[in-house]
Amino acid sequence: MRRYARITGTGSCLPPRRLTNADMTALLAARDVETSDEWIVARTGIRARHFVADGVFASDLALQACQAALEAAGVAASDIDLIIVATSTPDMVFPSTAAILQNKLGIAGCPVFDVQAVCSGFVYALTVADSMIQTGAASKALVVGAEVFSRLLDFNDRTTCVLFGDGAGAVVVEASDQPGILATDIHADGKHVGILCVPGHVSGGQILGDPLLKMDGQAVFKLAVGVLEETARAVLAKAGKTEADIDWLIPHQANIRIMQSTARKLKLSMDKVVVTVDEHGNTSAASIPLALDHAVRAGQVKKGDTLMLEGVGGGFTWGAVLVDF
Ligand code: UT7
């Protein structure tokens, strides 16, 4: 009998500080940088985002998301035998945020590691967990996306700072004889490193380069709409399914226009697309599990639904996971 990896619980966490577009407009105006609610809504669909307080790290948001996911799955933290955290904003240079999270969960012994694939991180992490569960290397995994992108933002650059937010989402993934994750599809093309990056590093006790986010938005946009269609079709083909089988598309939440374009190409009505970008902004690796958890708790996504999760981001990386929920 085939051994599947099945999502059995979801959880998420948003820091309490919520900034509307009006708040961002005021924050930027204090630096003589002009933006407006009208521009942000029209070009991105974003109306608000959440930012962490000083002293709060990705592992803190991850912990709350994991506790909610464990409770939803009815699984004790002590039964977890794998933790993968997708993040580009780790608590420290090392050790991994997954190790810090493991300690905060009060468990020890199981393998833990971070995955760095920027906004595709959760899709990558779920793909790795799926493989490890199918091979028997793990039976009960926590797969997490957790980010504090507010720490990377240049508030003098209106083309990027209005887009991102902080948050975390987590799923419990368990071995099962029932599907499960039906297929996965991940890719990268490193020649596009420069179009979305934080070009800084630590050396000799100093930060060298520039530790703030840089993005060529139009280049990312163009690449994103192409690869998201490709990976969606690839993962459907691997699972022997078609667009008509998709109950919910849960895409990376970067820009409503990218989501509309993907939906159009897959001939899906926007009623079948989970949208949280309006309230969360772009939370990078956290956006897909955050959107999934919100849709589950809102009663939209139900047991037995077929879900298409898909991400795209820095690297350039992209990929999709087809799930029988
Ligand atoms: O998470 C990883 C994936 N990331 C993405 O998917 C992001 C992909 N890119 C995008 O979502 C869009 O390219 C952006 C939202 C970043 C930008 O939207 P756009 O429609 O591509 O705008 P643009 O860069 O072409 O800029 C249009 C105008 C420019 O003014 P001019 O040169 O036409 O006078 C910008 O200076 O909008 C201006 N602009 C702004 N105006 C007010 C750029 N940012 C702002 C702003 N407020 N915040």
Q: Interhelix angle for 287-297 vs 58-73, to 10°?
A: 40
**Residue 263's pLDDT is what?**
97
Is the Cβ–Cβ distance between 3 and 138 less than 8 Å?
A: no
Neighbours of 32 (CB within 10 A): 7
Rounded average pLDDT over 84-108: 98
Pick from 27, 34, 43, 282 the residue to mutate for probing ligand 1's pocket: most ligand atoms within 8 Å of its CB: 43
Q: Is 113 in the pocket of ligand 1 (CB under 6 A)?
A: no
pLDDT confidence tier of residue 118, bands split at 50, 70 and 90: very high
Rounded average pLDDT over 244-264: 98
pLDDT confidence tier of residue 116, bands split at 50, 70 and 90: very high
**Residue 166's pLDDT is what?**
98
What angle (nearest 5°) sits at the alpha carbon of residue 313, between those of residues 311 and 315?
130
What is the reported pTM? 0.98
**Please, which residues have CB within 8 angstroms of residue 266's CB and are 6 or more apart in sequence?**
229, 232, 243, 246, 249
- C-alpha 288/C-alpha 145 separation (Å) is 8
Neighbours of 106 (CB within 10 A): 8
Q: Dump pLDDT digits (tens) for 39-77.
A: 999 999 999 999 999 999 999 999 999 999 999 999 999
- C-alpha 323/C-alpha 184 separation (Å) is 9
**Please, which residues have CB within 8 angstroms of residue 263's CB and are 6 or more apart in sequence?**
249, 269, 270, 272, 273
Percent of the chain predicted with pLDDT > 70:
100
**Residue 53's pLDDT is what?**
98
**Residue 249's pLDDT is what?**
98
Amino acid at 141: A
Q: Is 225 in the pocket of ligand 1 (CB under 6 A)?
A: no
- C-alpha 282/C-alpha 287 separation (Å) is 7
**Residue 168's pLDDT is what?**
99
Pick from 24, 49, 147, 221 the residue to mutate for probing ligand 1's pocket: most ligand atoms within 8 Å of its CB: 221
User: Which is the catalytic residue, given 50, 119, 255, 280?
Assistant: 119
Instruction: List helix spans (H) across the chain.
Output: 21-29, 37-44, 58-73, 97-104, 121-135, 158-161, 217-239, 256-265, 277-280, 287-297
Helix, strand, coil percentages, rounded to 5, for the chain? 40, 30, 30
Write the residue with the smallest CA distance to atom 12 of ligand 1: 217
| Residue 201 annotated as catalytic | no
Is it the case that residue 1 has pLDDT exceeding 90?
no
d(CA 254, ligand 1 centre) in Å: 12
Q: Is 323 in the pocket of ligand 1 (CB under 6 A)?
A: no
Q: Dump pLDDT digits (tens) for 261-299.
A: 999 999 999 999 999 999 999 999 999 999 999 999 999
DSSP 52: P
| Residue 119 annotated as catalytic | yes
Neighbours of 193 (CB within 10 A): 12
CA 76 to chain centre: 24
d(CA 170, ligand 1 centre) in Å: 30
Is it the case that residue 257 has pLDDT exceeding 90?
yes
d(CA 190, ligand 1 centre) in Å: 23
What ligand 1 atom has the least distance to the C-alpha of 162? 48
d(CA 130, ligand 1 centre) in Å: 36
Is it the case that residue 34 has pLDDT exceeding 90?
yes
